[in-house]
Amino acid sequence: MSEEIAANEPKTEKLGRIEDFNPELGGTFVDIPATETISDWSDVFRQFKLDPEAFEIVGDTVRMSSWQQSKRTEDGDRDTITLYSYRGSFRRRTTDPKVFASILDRIKGFSFQPSEKARNPESLIVMPTDLQVGKVDWNGGSDETTEQALESFANVAEFAKEFRPAEICMVDAGDAIENIYSTSAQLGTNDRDLPAQVEIAHHIFLTGLEILSPHAPSVRYAAVSSNHGQQRLGPKSPAGDAHADYGLGIAKMIRRGLQLNPAAFRHVTVQTPEPYMESLYFETSGSHIGVVHGHQASGADKLGEWWKGQSHGNMPVSKARILLAGHWHSLRYYQSGDSRHVFVGPASDRGSSWFTNLRGESSQSGMLTFTTSNNAWDNLRVL
Protein backbone atom coordinates (compact mmCIF):
# COMPACT_ATOMS: atom_id res chain seq x y z
CA MET A 1 0.00 0.00 0.00
CA SER A 2 1.41 3.39 -0.92
CA GLU A 3 2.02 6.02 1.75
CA GLU A 4 -0.50 8.33 0.05
CA ILE A 5 -3.30 5.79 0.27
CA ALA A 6 -2.35 4.80 3.80
CA ALA A 7 -2.56 8.43 4.89
CA ASN A 8 -6.15 8.64 3.63
CA GLU A 9 -7.22 5.31 5.10
CA PRO A 10 -9.71 5.43 7.99
CA LYS A 11 -8.90 2.88 10.68
CA THR A 12 -10.24 1.64 13.94
CA GLU A 13 -8.91 -1.38 15.80
CA LYS A 14 -12.13 -2.10 17.72
CA LEU A 15 -14.23 -2.48 14.59
CA GLY A 16 -11.84 -4.37 12.36
CA ARG A 17 -10.00 -2.47 9.65
CA ILE A 18 -10.06 -1.25 6.06
CA GLU A 19 -7.46 -2.32 3.50
CA ASP A 20 -6.51 -0.74 0.14
CA PHE A 21 -8.68 2.30 0.79
CA ASN A 22 -8.90 5.05 -1.84
CA PRO A 23 -11.45 7.84 -1.36
CA GLU A 24 -12.24 7.89 -5.09
CA LEU A 25 -12.66 4.12 -5.51
CA GLY A 26 -13.35 2.33 -2.22
CA GLY A 27 -11.60 -0.42 -0.30
CA THR A 28 -12.10 -3.65 1.63
CA PHE A 29 -13.55 -4.20 5.10
CA VAL A 30 -11.55 -6.85 6.97
CA ASP A 31 -12.36 -8.69 10.22
CA ILE A 32 -15.56 -6.75 10.92
CA PRO A 33 -17.01 -8.28 14.13
CA ALA A 34 -20.74 -8.77 14.65
CA THR A 35 -23.05 -10.50 17.09
CA GLU A 36 -25.67 -11.09 14.37
CA THR A 37 -25.64 -11.40 10.62
CA ILE A 38 -25.13 -8.17 8.66
CA SER A 39 -27.65 -7.37 5.95
CA ASP A 40 -27.40 -3.57 6.07
CA TRP A 41 -23.86 -2.14 6.01
CA SER A 42 -24.87 1.46 6.70
CA ASP A 43 -23.79 1.33 10.35
CA VAL A 44 -20.45 -0.17 9.39
CA PHE A 45 -19.80 2.71 6.97
CA ARG A 46 -20.74 5.24 9.65
CA GLN A 47 -18.47 3.61 12.24
CA PHE A 48 -15.56 4.19 9.87
CA LYS A 49 -16.76 7.78 9.24
CA LEU A 50 -17.79 6.96 5.66
CA ASP A 51 -21.05 8.17 4.12
CA PRO A 52 -23.28 5.17 3.27
CA GLU A 53 -24.93 7.31 0.60
CA ALA A 54 -21.56 7.74 -1.14
CA PHE A 55 -20.36 4.11 -0.92
CA GLU A 56 -21.91 0.70 -1.47
CA ILE A 57 -20.87 -2.85 -0.61
CA VAL A 58 -20.01 -5.16 -3.52
CA GLY A 59 -22.31 -8.07 -2.78
CA ASP A 60 -20.38 -10.93 -4.38
CA THR A 61 -17.22 -10.07 -2.40
CA VAL A 62 -18.77 -10.55 1.06
CA ARG A 63 -17.35 -13.43 3.10
CA MET A 64 -18.55 -14.43 6.57
CA SER A 65 -17.21 -16.78 9.21
CA SER A 66 -18.87 -17.73 12.49
CA TRP A 67 -17.94 -19.54 15.71
CA GLN A 68 -19.39 -20.39 19.09
CA GLN A 69 -18.19 -18.71 22.29
CA SER A 70 -19.04 -19.68 25.86
CA LYS A 71 -19.69 -16.76 28.21
CA ARG A 72 -20.41 -16.77 31.96
CA THR A 73 -23.69 -15.05 32.87
CA GLU A 74 -24.29 -12.87 35.97
CA ASP A 75 -25.86 -15.76 37.93
CA GLY A 76 -22.82 -17.95 37.35
CA ASP A 77 -24.19 -20.08 34.53
CA ARG A 78 -22.50 -20.35 31.16
CA ASP A 79 -24.20 -19.30 27.91
CA THR A 80 -23.14 -20.03 24.35
CA ILE A 81 -23.34 -17.23 21.79
CA THR A 82 -22.56 -17.09 18.08
CA LEU A 83 -20.07 -14.50 16.87
CA TYR A 84 -19.47 -13.44 13.28
CA SER A 85 -16.61 -11.90 11.32
CA TYR A 86 -17.08 -10.28 7.92
CA ARG A 87 -14.92 -9.31 4.97
CA GLY A 88 -16.19 -7.45 1.90
CA SER A 89 -15.16 -4.88 -0.69
CA PHE A 90 -16.95 -1.59 -1.14
CA ARG A 91 -16.90 1.04 -3.87
CA ARG A 92 -17.89 4.62 -4.37
CA ARG A 93 -21.27 5.11 -5.99
CA THR A 94 -20.54 6.68 -9.39
CA THR A 95 -23.93 8.27 -10.09
CA ASP A 96 -25.50 11.11 -8.15
CA PRO A 97 -29.26 10.35 -8.04
CA LYS A 98 -30.04 13.95 -9.01
CA VAL A 99 -27.73 13.76 -12.02
CA PHE A 100 -29.24 10.41 -13.03
CA ALA A 101 -32.76 11.84 -12.78
CA SER A 102 -31.83 14.78 -15.02
CA ILE A 103 -30.35 12.41 -17.60
CA LEU A 104 -33.53 10.32 -17.60
CA ASP A 105 -35.61 13.47 -18.10
CA ARG A 106 -33.49 14.47 -21.08
CA ILE A 107 -33.76 11.05 -22.69
CA LYS A 108 -37.51 10.77 -22.15
CA GLY A 109 -38.08 14.33 -23.38
CA PHE A 110 -36.05 13.99 -26.58
CA SER A 111 -38.37 14.28 -29.59
CA PHE A 112 -36.24 14.84 -32.71
CA GLN A 113 -37.10 12.54 -35.60
CA PRO A 114 -34.51 11.42 -38.17
CA SER A 115 -34.83 11.93 -41.89
CA GLU A 116 -36.54 8.89 -43.37
CA LYS A 117 -34.70 9.11 -46.66
CA ALA A 118 -31.02 9.83 -47.14
CA ARG A 119 -29.93 11.89 -50.14
CA ASN A 120 -26.45 10.37 -50.13
CA PRO A 121 -25.58 6.63 -50.06
CA GLU A 122 -22.38 7.27 -48.06
CA SER A 123 -21.87 7.12 -44.29
CA LEU A 124 -20.37 9.84 -42.13
CA ILE A 125 -17.68 8.85 -39.61
CA VAL A 126 -17.04 11.15 -36.62
CA MET A 127 -14.42 10.31 -33.98
CA PRO A 128 -14.73 11.99 -30.57
CA THR A 129 -11.57 10.43 -29.15
CA ASP A 130 -9.21 11.25 -26.27
CA LEU A 131 -11.38 13.82 -24.50
CA GLN A 132 -9.62 12.89 -21.24
CA VAL A 133 -12.21 14.71 -19.16
CA GLY A 134 -10.63 15.79 -15.86
CA LYS A 135 -7.32 16.74 -17.44
CA VAL A 136 -6.06 20.31 -17.11
CA ASP A 137 -3.53 21.77 -19.52
CA TRP A 138 -2.48 25.09 -20.99
CA ASN A 139 -5.69 25.47 -23.02
CA GLY A 140 -8.03 24.74 -20.14
CA GLY A 141 -9.69 21.87 -18.30
CA SER A 142 -12.93 19.91 -18.26
CA ASP A 143 -15.22 22.87 -18.95
CA GLU A 144 -13.21 23.90 -22.00
CA THR A 145 -13.05 20.29 -23.24
CA THR A 146 -16.83 20.02 -22.92
CA GLU A 147 -17.35 23.28 -24.81
CA GLN A 148 -15.03 22.25 -27.63
CA ALA A 149 -16.53 18.75 -27.96
CA LEU A 150 -20.09 20.08 -28.15
CA GLU A 151 -19.01 22.71 -30.68
CA SER A 152 -17.44 19.91 -32.77
CA PHE A 153 -20.70 17.95 -32.70
CA ALA A 154 -22.58 21.09 -33.79
CA ASN A 155 -20.17 21.56 -36.72
CA VAL A 156 -20.58 17.90 -37.71
CA ALA A 157 -24.37 18.33 -37.60
CA GLU A 158 -24.13 21.32 -39.97
CA PHE A 159 -22.19 19.20 -42.45
CA ALA A 160 -24.55 16.22 -42.02
CA LYS A 161 -27.59 18.45 -42.58
CA GLU A 162 -26.30 19.28 -46.06
CA PHE A 163 -24.69 15.94 -46.90
CA ARG A 164 -27.57 13.79 -45.57
CA PRO A 165 -25.59 10.56 -45.02
CA ALA A 166 -27.09 7.10 -45.02
CA GLU A 167 -25.64 6.51 -41.55
CA ILE A 168 -23.74 8.54 -38.98
CA CYS A 169 -21.12 6.50 -37.09
CA MET A 170 -20.01 8.18 -33.87
CA VAL A 171 -16.85 6.35 -32.79
CA ASP A 172 -15.44 6.80 -29.30
CA ALA A 173 -11.93 5.46 -29.83
CA GLY A 174 -11.15 5.65 -26.12
CA ASP A 175 -9.70 7.79 -23.31
CA ALA A 176 -12.99 9.57 -22.64
CA ILE A 177 -11.75 10.36 -19.13
CA GLU A 178 -8.37 11.24 -17.67
CA ASN A 179 -8.75 8.78 -14.75
CA ILE A 180 -6.66 9.14 -11.57
CA TYR A 181 -4.25 6.23 -11.99
CA SER A 182 -2.69 6.59 -15.45
CA THR A 183 0.15 8.82 -14.23
CA SER A 184 1.30 9.77 -10.75
CA ALA A 185 0.49 13.45 -11.35
CA GLN A 186 -3.23 13.07 -11.98
CA LEU A 187 -4.47 13.29 -8.41
CA GLY A 188 -2.74 16.66 -8.12
CA THR A 189 -3.54 18.12 -11.55
CA ASN A 190 -7.09 16.93 -12.33
CA ASP A 191 -9.97 19.39 -11.98
CA ARG A 192 -12.59 16.66 -11.46
CA ASP A 193 -12.69 13.49 -9.39
CA LEU A 194 -13.33 10.13 -11.02
CA PRO A 195 -17.15 10.01 -10.62
CA ALA A 196 -17.45 13.55 -12.03
CA GLN A 197 -15.25 12.64 -15.01
CA VAL A 198 -17.57 9.76 -15.89
CA GLU A 199 -20.69 11.92 -15.52
CA ILE A 200 -19.30 14.72 -17.73
CA ALA A 201 -18.12 12.30 -20.44
CA HIS A 202 -21.55 10.65 -20.39
CA HIS A 203 -23.15 14.10 -20.79
CA ILE A 204 -20.89 14.93 -23.77
CA PHE A 205 -21.61 11.71 -25.66
CA LEU A 206 -25.34 11.75 -24.91
CA THR A 207 -25.57 15.36 -26.08
CA GLY A 208 -23.62 14.42 -29.21
CA LEU A 209 -26.21 11.77 -30.01
CA GLU A 210 -29.01 14.28 -29.45
CA ILE A 211 -27.32 16.70 -31.85
CA LEU A 212 -26.52 14.18 -34.59
CA SER A 213 -29.42 11.72 -34.50
CA PRO A 214 -31.91 13.92 -36.42
CA HIS A 215 -29.60 14.00 -39.45
CA ALA A 216 -29.54 10.36 -40.59
CA PRO A 217 -32.02 7.47 -40.72
CA SER A 218 -29.43 5.30 -38.96
CA VAL A 219 -26.97 6.27 -36.22
CA ARG A 220 -24.30 4.02 -34.73
CA TYR A 221 -22.43 4.70 -31.48
CA ALA A 222 -19.34 2.50 -31.09
CA ALA A 223 -16.83 2.50 -28.21
CA VAL A 224 -13.69 0.54 -27.38
CA SER A 225 -11.63 0.13 -24.22
CA SER A 226 -8.52 2.25 -23.63
CA ASN A 227 -5.64 2.87 -21.25
CA HIS A 228 -7.04 5.98 -19.52
CA GLY A 229 -10.47 4.36 -19.39
CA GLN A 230 -9.18 1.25 -17.64
CA GLN A 231 -10.42 0.58 -14.12
CA ARG A 232 -7.39 0.47 -11.81
CA LEU A 233 -6.73 -0.04 -8.12
CA GLY A 234 -3.52 1.97 -8.29
CA PRO A 235 -0.94 3.21 -10.83
CA LYS A 236 -0.48 0.58 -13.55
CA SER A 237 -2.68 -1.84 -11.57
CA PRO A 238 -5.64 -3.09 -13.67
CA ALA A 239 -8.73 -4.13 -11.73
CA GLY A 240 -10.27 -6.44 -14.32
CA ASP A 241 -10.29 -7.63 -17.92
CA ALA A 242 -10.50 -5.58 -21.13
CA HIS A 243 -14.11 -4.63 -20.39
CA ALA A 244 -13.42 -3.18 -16.93
CA ASP A 245 -13.39 0.20 -18.64
CA TYR A 246 -15.19 3.46 -17.88
CA GLY A 247 -15.67 4.30 -21.57
CA LEU A 248 -17.43 0.99 -22.17
CA GLY A 249 -19.47 1.59 -19.01
CA ILE A 250 -20.62 4.93 -20.44
CA ALA A 251 -21.59 3.25 -23.73
CA LYS A 252 -23.64 0.64 -21.90
CA MET A 253 -25.39 3.30 -19.80
CA ILE A 254 -26.27 5.15 -23.00
CA ARG A 255 -27.60 1.95 -24.57
CA ARG A 256 -29.92 1.31 -21.63
CA GLY A 257 -30.91 4.94 -21.37
CA LEU A 258 -31.98 5.22 -25.02
CA GLN A 259 -34.35 2.32 -24.48
CA LEU A 260 -36.44 4.67 -22.33
CA ASN A 261 -37.47 6.57 -25.45
CA PRO A 262 -37.61 4.04 -28.31
CA ALA A 263 -39.79 6.29 -30.47
CA ALA A 264 -37.07 8.94 -30.74
CA PHE A 265 -34.02 6.68 -30.69
CA ARG A 266 -35.23 3.59 -32.55
CA HIS A 267 -32.65 4.29 -35.29
CA VAL A 268 -29.69 4.45 -32.87
CA THR A 269 -27.57 1.37 -32.09
CA VAL A 270 -24.78 1.14 -29.51
CA GLN A 271 -21.88 -1.24 -30.13
CA THR A 272 -19.07 -2.38 -27.83
CA PRO A 273 -16.46 -5.13 -28.35
CA GLU A 274 -17.23 -8.78 -27.85
CA PRO A 275 -16.33 -10.16 -24.37
CA TYR A 276 -12.58 -9.98 -23.62
CA MET A 277 -11.88 -8.15 -26.90
CA GLU A 278 -10.37 -4.64 -27.09
CA SER A 279 -11.32 -3.93 -30.72
CA LEU A 280 -14.52 -4.13 -32.77
CA TYR A 281 -15.72 -4.31 -36.37
CA PHE A 282 -18.78 -3.05 -38.22
CA GLU A 283 -20.03 -2.48 -41.76
CA THR A 284 -21.56 0.78 -43.00
CA SER A 285 -22.47 1.73 -46.58
CA GLY A 286 -20.42 -1.18 -47.89
CA SER A 287 -17.29 -0.13 -45.94
CA HIS A 288 -15.65 -2.53 -43.49
CA ILE A 289 -14.53 -0.61 -40.39
CA GLY A 290 -12.31 -1.70 -37.50
CA VAL A 291 -11.83 0.32 -34.30
CA VAL A 292 -9.14 0.12 -31.61
CA HIS A 293 -7.83 2.68 -29.15
CA GLY A 294 -4.21 2.44 -30.35
CA HIS A 295 -2.17 1.92 -27.18
CA GLN A 296 -1.67 -1.68 -28.30
CA ALA A 297 0.98 -0.49 -30.79
CA SER A 298 4.31 1.16 -29.91
CA GLY A 299 3.59 4.10 -32.19
CA ALA A 300 1.00 5.49 -34.59
CA ASP A 301 3.06 4.26 -37.54
CA LYS A 302 3.15 0.76 -36.00
CA LEU A 303 -0.62 0.27 -36.06
CA GLY A 304 -0.36 -1.33 -39.50
CA GLU A 305 1.99 -3.97 -38.08
CA TRP A 306 -0.39 -4.58 -35.18
CA TRP A 307 -3.25 -4.91 -37.68
CA LYS A 308 -1.36 -7.56 -39.64
CA GLY A 309 -1.00 -9.65 -36.50
CA GLN A 310 -4.69 -9.26 -35.73
CA SER A 311 -5.57 -10.41 -39.24
CA HIS A 312 -3.35 -13.46 -38.88
CA GLY A 313 -5.08 -14.28 -35.57
CA ASN A 314 -8.56 -13.80 -37.04
CA MET A 315 -9.34 -11.10 -34.45
CA PRO A 316 -12.29 -8.66 -34.78
CA VAL A 317 -10.49 -6.13 -37.02
CA SER A 318 -9.24 -8.84 -39.40
CA LYS A 319 -12.24 -8.23 -41.70
CA ALA A 320 -11.76 -4.45 -41.76
CA ARG A 321 -10.46 -2.43 -44.69
CA ILE A 322 -10.42 0.84 -42.73
CA LEU A 323 -8.91 1.00 -39.23
CA LEU A 324 -9.79 3.83 -36.83
CA ALA A 325 -7.63 4.60 -33.78
CA GLY A 326 -6.96 7.33 -31.26
CA HIS A 327 -4.40 7.47 -28.43
CA TRP A 328 -1.67 9.30 -30.36
CA HIS A 329 -3.35 12.76 -30.21
CA SER A 330 -2.52 13.83 -33.77
CA LEU A 331 -4.09 13.31 -37.16
CA ARG A 332 -2.44 10.57 -39.18
CA TYR A 333 -3.42 8.69 -42.32
CA TYR A 334 -1.54 6.04 -44.26
CA GLN A 335 -2.13 2.89 -46.29
CA SER A 336 -1.29 -0.57 -45.01
CA GLY A 337 -1.16 -3.95 -46.69
CA ASP A 338 -3.36 -4.38 -49.77
CA SER A 339 -4.65 -0.80 -49.90
CA ARG A 340 -6.15 -0.84 -46.44
CA HIS A 341 -6.47 2.52 -44.71
CA VAL A 342 -5.31 3.55 -41.22
CA PHE A 343 -6.80 6.69 -39.67
CA VAL A 344 -5.49 8.05 -36.37
CA GLY A 345 -7.75 10.76 -34.99
CA PRO A 346 -6.62 13.93 -33.20
CA ALA A 347 -7.57 14.43 -29.55
CA SER A 348 -10.46 16.50 -28.28
CA ASP A 349 -8.61 17.40 -25.06
CA ARG A 350 -6.99 20.77 -24.34
CA GLY A 351 -3.47 19.87 -25.42
CA SER A 352 -0.48 18.01 -23.96
CA SER A 353 2.13 20.49 -22.79
CA TRP A 354 4.45 17.69 -21.60
CA PHE A 355 4.74 16.47 -25.21
CA THR A 356 5.23 19.99 -26.57
CA ASN A 357 7.89 20.68 -23.93
CA LEU A 358 9.63 17.44 -24.95
CA ARG A 359 9.35 17.67 -28.75
CA GLY A 360 8.40 21.27 -29.48
CA GLU A 361 5.38 20.06 -31.44
CA SER A 362 1.62 20.39 -30.99
CA SER A 363 -1.41 19.25 -32.97
CA GLN A 364 -4.86 20.61 -33.78
CA SER A 365 -7.56 19.51 -31.36
CA GLY A 366 -10.90 18.35 -32.70
CA MET A 367 -12.79 15.40 -34.13
CA LEU A 368 -11.74 13.55 -37.27
CA THR A 369 -14.62 13.22 -39.75
CA PHE A 370 -14.86 11.70 -43.21
CA THR A 371 -17.40 10.06 -45.49
CA THR A 372 -17.12 6.49 -46.73
CA SER A 373 -18.75 3.88 -48.93
CA ASN A 374 -17.46 0.59 -50.37
CA ASN A 375 -14.13 1.00 -48.50
CA ALA A 376 -13.34 4.33 -50.19
CA TRP A 377 -13.30 7.64 -48.32
CA ASP A 378 -13.74 11.35 -48.99
CA ASN A 379 -14.38 14.70 -47.25
CA LEU A 380 -11.73 14.22 -44.57
CA ARG A 381 -11.61 17.11 -42.13
CA VAL A 382 -11.10 17.94 -38.45
CA LEU A 383 -14.09 19.71 -36.90
**Which of 113 and 176 is assigned the larger pLDDT?**
176
| Residue 153 near residue 212, CB atoms below 8 Å | yes
* Cα 53 → chain centroid: 23
Q: What is the pLDDT of residue 360?
A: 56
Q: What are the residue boundaries of the structural domains of the chain, listed by start? A: 3-92, 97-382
Q: What is the mean pLDDT of residues 194-219?
A: 93
* Residue 1: pLDDT band with limits 50, 70, 90: very low
pLDDT digits (tens, 9 = 90+) for 249-306: 999 999 999 988 888 888 999 999 999 999 999 999 999 999 999 999 999 999 999 9
70, β-bridge pairs: 80
Q: What is the pLDDT of residue 115?
A: 60
| DSSP letter string, 335-379 | EETTTEEEEEPPP-SS--HHHHHHHS-----S-EEEEEETTEEEE
Q: At what angle do helices 246-258 and 194-212 cross, to 10 degrees?
A: 50
**Which of 189 and 102 is assigned the larger pLDDT?**
189
CA–CA distance from 136 to each of 192, 247, 256, 357, 372 (Å)?
A: 9, 19, 31, 16, 35
Class of domain 97-382: alpha beta
**Which of 103 and 210 is assigned the larger pLDDT?**
210
Q: What is the pLDDT of residue 7?
A: 40
Q: Is residue 34 pLDDT above 70, yes or no?
A: yes
Q: Is residue 158 pLDDT above 60, yes or no?
A: yes
Report the range of poorest mean pLDDT among 45-49, 111-115, 148-152, 363-367.
111-115
* Residue 22: pLDDT band with limits 50, 70, 90: confident
**Please, what is the average pLDDT of the chain?**
85
